[in-house]
Amino acid sequence: MNNDKKLAVSSAPHWHDGSRISVRNINIAVAALPALFVGISIFGMPALRVITLSIGCAMIAELVINIIARKKISIDDGSAALSGLLIGMLLPASVPWWLVVIGAFVAIIIGKQVFGGIGANPLNPTLIGFAIIMISWKGHMDFDEAFLNYDLGFYMAYPLAALKHFGTAATAKYNLMDLFIGKQSGGIGAVCGLGLLIGGIYLIVRGFIRWEISISFLVGIFITAFLFNIANPEKYAFPLFHLLTGNVMLGAFFLATDDTTSPVNFIPMLIFGLGCGIITVLIRCLGLYYDGVVFAILLMNLINPLVDKIRPKAIGKVVENA
């Protein structure tokens, strides 16, 4: 028998589909560009400085850890650059440079590398970095204070802060279309819902993220906000206001869909996204913070391993051989 004709059998995986982590990260960054361009055009050069500094610091942090731990240099996979980009998109344009540095280093070192690097982190590194600086330096992360000296031609009061302090009477000052196209105060890359929606659709169509998490996230926010609005329409805003303000669109398409910290099965993905949406509105309506997207996703990250074990029951039963 000709040995060249024998079938070689090995353990899985048997076939590589050609996908690469770097390709996914590059495409996510590209999808973020529409919203990012709007944010930079609105807030100007300070916004561009925050974004570039955040990306650079995240890559430096990853490189330093690789060298110290004597690990393979991994900045070429794009994950550190993407984390830096997303942190910058969450920040106000007026944030001091040292806060950007702290956020990027915390995200990469504590949120990612401490757990072993990409694929091993239980929590979204971007959100860890952002949550730490948001809790520690509330004044710098208060959008009303951050944009106190800005005059951009639209109502600059942070929508969610106005809602929290003055109820739904304050929402009359905001036009939904203006909110959708980015005429509001907020994170550099989070203000333009239209740009984020375009980027999210691109990622879903290309198969880089699954629609289940994003859609169930938005549905969870809509339903929960609707119930609160029915209960007290003078205090709690209508669902569209919640969908178009804060970090909702960024969270739905770019943060909650992180591969490592989100489920991989159909039903768990629906539960995960729905939970993120429900908790977001609960924090907004009942909690101390104006926006609950970051904390909602982190809380769902914690229970992700448990949620991902949920499986539909198989139809039928096993019959043992006689």
Kindly report whether the peptide bond that precedes residue 13 is cis, defined as omega within 30 degrees of 0.
Answer: yes
For 177-188, the pLDDT digits (tens) are 999 999 998 999
For 248-263, the pLDDT digits (tens) are 999 999 999 998 889 9
pLDDT value, residue 319: 59
- The residues spanned by each domain of the chain are 21-307
Q: DSSP string covering 12-29, please? A: SP-------HHHHHHHHH
Q: Is the pLDDT of residue 322 over 60?
A: no
The mean predicted confidence, pLDDT, of the chain is 88
Q: Mean pLDDT, to the nearest integer, of 232-255? A: 94
Determine the topology of domain 21-307 in CATH. Ammonium transporter fold (1.10.3430)
Residue 109: pLDDT band by 50, 70, 90 thresholds? very high
Question: Which residues fall within 8 angstroms of residue 96, CB to CB, at 6 or more apart?
Answer: 140
For 195-229, the pLDDT digits (tens) are 999 999 999 999 999 999 999 999 999 999 999 99
Above pLDDT 90, what percent of the chain?
63
Q: Is the pLDDT of residue 233 over 50?
A: yes
Residue 273: pLDDT band by 50, 70, 90 thresholds? very high
pLDDT value, residue 17: 46
Residues in the chain: 322
Least confident of 97-111, 158-172, 271-285, 304-318: 304-318
For 133-143, the pLDDT digits (tens) are 999 998 888 88
Least confident of 46-60, 159-173, 178-192, 308-322: 308-322
Q: Is the pLDDT of residue 314 over 60?
A: no
pLDDT value, residue 312: 64
- How far CA 275 is from CA of 69, 122, 214, 225, 286, in Å, comes to 37, 17, 11, 13, 16
Q: Is the pLDDT of residue 16 over 50?
A: no
pLDDT value, residue 148: 72
What amino acid occupies position 91? Answer: L
pLDDT value, residue 315: 60
pLDDT value, residue 21: 83
For 18-58, the pLDDT digits (tens) are 467 888 999 999 999 999 999 999 999 999 999 999 999 99
* 151: exposed, middle or buried (Cβ count in 10 Å: 0-12, 13-18, 19+): exposed
Would you say 318 and 302 are in contact if contact means Cβ atoms under 8 Å apart?
no
Nearest-angstrom CA–CA distance, 251 and 294: 8
